[in-house]
Structure 1
Amino acid sequence: MAQQFFLYNPRLQIDIPHLEMKWLDYNESTQQYILEHWEKVRGMIPDKIIEFEGRINHKQDALAQEEDFEKSCQLNHEISELASRINDLWIWYRTTPEIKKKD
């Protein structure tokens, strides 16, 4: 059922919400299910950030040793892409919907 409300994002390596209706159009039990799955995903985000930070550190070490300009540029590009992923993960981590009833 999670596939119905989430899509795997290969760039971030997590499921992200993909809702076809407005949040309030889902009934309370569906909202609860979505929130429970999202909390599991959110719990994995800090580990993903640590993983990407480790990859950045590795690439920075390689960059410090690199003498070829083109390879240095490529490493800088890869570092900035990983940093962008971390930024996006933090944004998703701060996303915390709540169960709400229609009035």
Structure 2
Amino acid sequence: MKEYFAFDYRLGISLPELIMEWDDYNKEIQENILFEWEKIRGSIPDRIIDLEDQINYKQAQLSDENDFVRSCQLNSEIAELASIINDLWLWYRANQNISEKIHQ
């Protein structure tokens, strides 16, 4: 299934990377892709929890930080982690209908 997915280092998960239209794949390949995506999709909430833990840690650091430059850096890192979480939720929700096809 690796040929149908590419690892996204920013998000920390593999994302579908299809070179053909969905209907051009035979049913067996479609089912395998859907099954693999369901496994990946199921890992997204755990990935989000990990990122939220990182945000909480950085916020704790920020509350004790007196150096303005370091505070700005921590804020930037928190914003990037929040952006990643947002993107992960988009992938999780946007592809819910794909996951529903597995159960039909």
Q: What is the TM-score normalised by the length of structure 1?
A: 0.91
CA RMSD of aligned residues (A): 1.0
- The structure that is helix-richer by fraction is 2
Q: How many residues align?
A: 98
5+ residue gaps in structure 2? none
Provide the residue aligned with 1:7 in structure 2.
6
Residue 33 of structure 2 corresponds to 34
User: Tell me, what secondary structure is at the counterpart of 1:16?
Assistant: strand
Residue equivalent to 1:60: 59
User: Which position in structure 2 is the counterpart of 1:81?
Assistant: 80
Q: How high is the sequence identity, in percent, across the aligned residues?
A: 54
Which runs of 4 or more aligned residues in structure 1 lie more than 4 Å from their structure 2 counterparts after TM superposition? none
Q: Which amino acid aligns with 1:70?
A: V
Larger RCO, structure (CA 8 Å, separation 6 or more)? 1
Deviation at 1:29, TM superposition (A): 0.9
Q: Secondary structure at the match of 2:6?
A: strand
Quick one: distance in 2 between partners of 1:91 and 1:24?
23
* Residue 23 in structure 1 maps to residue 26 in structure 2: no
Which 5+ residue runs of structure 1 have no aligned equivalent?
none
CA distance in 1, matches of 2:22, 2:78: 36
- Which secondary structure does the structure 1 equivalent of 2:66 belong to? coil
SS of 2:81's partner is: helix
TM-score (norm 2): 0.90
1:3 deviates by 1.2
Structure 1 residue 59 displacement after superposition: 0.2
Shift of 1:25: 1.2
